[in-house]
Amino acid sequence: MKIFTFECEQWLARPVEEVFPFFADARNLQAITPPWLDFQVLTPDPIEMRAGTLIDYRLRVHGLPLRWRTLIKVWEPPHRFVDEQLRGPYRQWIHEHTFTARDGGTLARDGVHYAVPGGAWVNRWFVRRDVERIFAFRRAELTRRFGGHSSPQ
């Protein structure tokens, strides 16, 4: 299974103590996910974020309805957490989020390791473009909410 990597970072003009709680609320994922994915959190409130938490979502990818289940594998507030797809469109999806105090704000980094059915061809022509568009939307929303700027990929 070929594993692909996507990484991006963004400086946000707010302290880690303000940025991390936004990410610690699973409901906020809807706010930073593009509307064309029709993303909804299905897990009922309250969602207690910790290692072992399971969160269910519904979304549409190219019009196809999908369910996604995430496991919070690592929970180290306020600096890091890792989520892993247990059920969803990817053969593997492991997403590490890190938050570091930097220059009076927060350097937020995303590192995603993923595998797709169909391998390199499907990734090149479909999936990678989608991932880049999703994270571009996310960066714009986070900049709007917290101020700051993103680094080139």
Nearest Cα to 131, choosing from 145, 114, 151? 114
Give 9's strand partners.
109
Instruction: State the CB neighbour count (10 A cutoff) for residue 131.
Output: 19
Q: Are 81 and 21 in contact (CB under 8 A)?
A: no
* pLDDT tens sequence for the chain (153 residues): 999 999 999 999 999 999 999 999 999 999 999 999 999 999 999 999 999 999 999 999 999 999 999 999 999 999 999 999 999 999 999 999 999 999 999 999 999 999 999 999 999 999 999 999 999 999 999 999 999 876 644
pTM: 0.94
Fold of 4-150: Alpha-D-Glucose-1,6-Bisphosphate; Chain A, domain 4 (3.30.530)
Q: Cβ-count burial of 75 within 10 angstroms (0-12 exposed, 13-18 middle, 19+ buried)?
A: middle
Q: Tell me the pLDDT tens digit for each residue of 121-153.
A: 999 999 999 999 999 999 999 999 999 876 644
pLDDT given for residue 136 in this prediction: 98
For the chain, the domains span 4-150
Q: What CA dihedral angle connects 25, 113, 70 and 50, to 10 degrees?
A: -50
Angle at 118 between CA 117 and CA 119, to 5 degrees: 95
